[in-house]
Structure 1
Amino acid sequence: PAEWDAAALAQRAHLLQTWEWGALKQNFGWRVERIAWRDAANLYAGAQILYRALAPGLTVAYIPRGPFGAAETLVPFLTALVRHVRARGAFLLKLEPDWQRDDPRAQNLRAIRARPTFETIQPSATIELDLTADLETILARMKAKWRYNIRLSEKKDVVVRVGAAAALPAFYELLRVTGARDHFAIHSLAYYRAAWELLAARDRARLFIAEYAQQPLAMIFVTAFADQALYLYGASGNAERNRMPNHALHWAAIQWAKTRGCARYDLWGIPETAAEPGETENLPTSLYQFKHGFGGATIHYTGAWDLVFNPVKYRLYQLARKIRQNKIGA
């Protein structure tokens, strides 16, 4: 684990390519492999691959925010990677690299016959704050209302503190409220506890708690790896929302991330259309507006790429996904 994460750290890989993230997924239904392009002294490229059997004889392979490595090693590495995954019996290899749109490395994916797809798993766009400036500049880049709300939360006696494992049940209860209010599915408490235990053990996670009168109003689960801090999960109740606990939480997390030496604070996902001219007013929620108010830059990723090994099974897979989505929509 230490050698893998050291290589991922040196290559500025994403959190989802760390050993701990793979261990988390392995505890919840995925089989994990880590393969590398290396010599005796150095690891030049790597990929953490997650496998899941959707049905007997129907296994998908997935690389979240990977592979990672030097551009000049990607072509031979990807060729070996394809042979490896095909030999494992997967009908599909889905890749979602940690590359921005129009990254020239995407041509290496075309070279292995992978094709872009709209069926993404990770966010296809996000907002990222530049933490290399001083705190005053970071604050000045925010919208005036956001600076006001940060100050207002303090005036309204909101206190932000760092929580430990004992706070996870309260975090989960707030998350259940958030999921019901904002109409999204959540994992089990066991999943978030496992994520905390694995990441906190390597000092890569913090649970920030915003309280009023010693009652938790909102919490965020933030990670740090390489030069990036990542707002991974957030939860808030319905009470005392006028005290702006979420603004206070992110300001505390930004300060922590900067102290850690992170150069970026990723707000973890916005709708892909959010930065298109004239479309922000059509978003169904205030998600984009809230994140955009912190003054970051909109980042568009290269998206998901599918390499199909068995076209018949792939069509069955797409049909099953469409049926499932229609049922959810109904």
Structure 2
Amino acid sequence: MSIHLRRITPDEHLGFIREVSAPGSTFPTTVSFLQTPAWAKVKPEWTSESLGWFEGTELIGVGLVLYRLLPHVSRLGLRSSLAYLPEGPVLDWTRPDVPELLTALAKHARERGAFGLRIGPTLPHQSWGPETIKTAIADPAITRLSQATADHTDHAATRLANQLRSLGWKAPKDGEGFQAGQPKFNFQLPLTVVDEESGERRQKTPDELLKGMNQLWRRNIKKADKSGVEVTRGTRDDLAAFHTAYLETAARDGFTGRPLSYFQTMWDALTDEDPDRMRVYLARHEGELVAATTWVGVGRHCWYSYGASTNAKREVRGSNAIQWQMIQDSLAAGGEVYDLRGITEGVAEDDPEIGLIQFKVGTGGQAVSYVGEWDLPLIWPVHRAFTLYMERRAGKKPTA
């Protein structure tokens, strides 16, 4: 049966996402919140459209495409956009007709006048468990996680990467870090396990998750509890308190923070689509804010999206307490994965980001590399100019 691609309504788009991300679904790909129709409202500087792939009359995949007319391209006198599907499209990447699906997408983007197309399939390629990561960090001969033998490699993801190359797609040079867009390497805590008695997959219990954490994490969670740290869910009004702590974190860690209006727009867009799509958490000690985070959930997948901690009272371990609350609440929401989002793959002792992976590995989770983001040039001279521009920008500190 022939495949065709056309624009769809936000309701059709959201309906498909709800179906394939629901508990019990066997859809093999993570459905990212960056591919929900609501995300277009979070990025008003981009134009957007929802696309659907159909096999006959059956909707088999969707994608949120963001288009942006980039300033450096405009200065060349060309009215051409980058077509970008962050952590998308939402397709079953194990299908044998993936090349046909991608060819249809490229044809559509070219007809829209795009000079280039970028996708980011959320198909896990490799994963490294906590013991493997700790061994890699301790080995001076290993400076990047990809140099350590992965605990698991998904052959469907390897096949997809080979298909992309054969179709002319290229992986951005900085795809392993943050500069290319969405990070290729992420840290995830599985919330499910195969039951030894029944052989069926079930959610882990809070006790099982605690036992999977390292001793430092368990001790810090207990310390926060004994110190009287209280974690609560906030409302939109509490984004201001979160943002104050977030800017304090930005100043301490040396990145440029986003304005409060960004988080308010994100809240309004996501919660309008689903009242429980986004949450804000606040950890307080004796009434004083010590940590704050934002959480996003789409079906079986939950994300820790932004985090902040104050410089004061770090000894009460508010950051551990707030993470533990979000993990437990992700279980209650039916989550199967708690995603701590991006990491860089550097594991050398002097790597500037080593503290981030060390903090996250304490949860007992795993580092996961997706297939990564891939570019398809549609207008070669313009795409080359864009690539050179991005390479010049690569040395700049990204906004967290």
Same structural fold, with TM-score higher than 0.5 when normalized by the shorter chain: yes
Distance in 1 separating the partners of 2:39 and 2:15? 14
Q: Establish whether residue 290 from structure 1 lines up as the match of residue 359 from structure 2.
A: yes
Q: Deviations over 1:72-105 (max 9, x none)?
A: 4533221111011011111111111111225023
Q: Is the counterpart of residue 319 in structure 1 residue 374 in structure 2?
A: no
2:196 is the counterpart of 1:128: no
User: Does 2:83 align with 1:23?
Assistant: no
Q: CA deviation at 1:111?
A: 4.2
**Pair 1:81 & 2:152 matched:** no
Amino acid at match of 2:181: I
Question: Residue type matched to 2:20 in 1?
Answer: Q
- Secondary structure of 1:91's match? strand
CA distance in 2, matches of 1:45, 1:106: 19
Kindly report which structure 2 residues correspond to 1:27-46, keeping only aligned pairs within 5 A, or say none.
27=44, 29-38=45-54, 41-46=57-62
Which deviates more, 3-12 or 165-174?
A: 3-12
The alpha-carbon distance between structure 1 residues 204 and 328, as it changes in their structure 2 partners (threshold 3 A), is: closer
Matched, 1:166 2:237: yes
Over the residues paired in the alignment, what is the CA RMSD in angstroms?
A: 1.9
Kindly report which structure 2 residues correspond to 1:149-298, keeping only aligned pairs within 5 A, or say none.
149-201=220-272, 202=274, 203-274=276-347, 279=348, 281-285=349-353, 286-298=355-367
Q: Is the 1:64–1:95 Cα contact (8 Å) retained in structure 2?
A: yes
Task: Kindly state the Cα deviation for residue 109 of structure 1 after the two structures are TM-superposed.
Answer: 2.3
In the aligned structure 2, how far is the partner of 1:326 from the partner of 1:39?
44
Alpha-carbon distance in 1 for matches of 2:249, 2:267: 19
Task: State the Cα distance separating 1:180 from its structure 2 match.
Answer: 1.3
Deviates more, 1:140-149 or 1:51-60: 51-60
Offset, 1:311 = 2.2
Q: Does 1:94 align with 2:162?
A: no
8 A contact 2:296–2:302 mirrored in 1: yes
Q: Does the Cα contact within 8 Å between 1:16 and 1:64 map onto a contact in 2?
A: yes
SS class of match (1:186): coil
Q: Which residue of 2 aligns with 1:51?
A: 67
Q: Distance in 1 between matches of 2:388 and 2:172?
A: 15
- TM-score when normalising by structure 2: 0.76
Alpha-carbon offset, residue 45 of structure 1: 1.3
CA distance in 1, matches of 2:256, 2:16: 34
Distance in 2 between residues matched to 1:152 and 1:113, nearest whole Å: 54
Q: 2:86 aligned to 40, 58, 64, which one?
A: 64
Equivalent pairs, count = 322
Residue identity (%):
32
Distance 2:312 2:57 in 1: 56
Question: Which structure features the higher share of helix residues?
Answer: 1
The TM-score normalised by the length of structure 1 is: 0.92
Q: Which moved more, 1:76-85 or 1:136-145?
A: 76-85
- The answer as to whether partners of 1:230 and 1:267 remain within 8 angstroms in 2 is yes
**What's the counterpart of residue 145 of structure 2?**
none
Mind listing any 5+ residue stretches in structure 1 that lack a counterpart? none
Amino acid paired to 1:21: W
- Distance in 1, matches of 2:97 and 2:265, equals 34
Work out the CA distance in 1 between the residues paired with 2:54 and 2:369.
Answer: 30
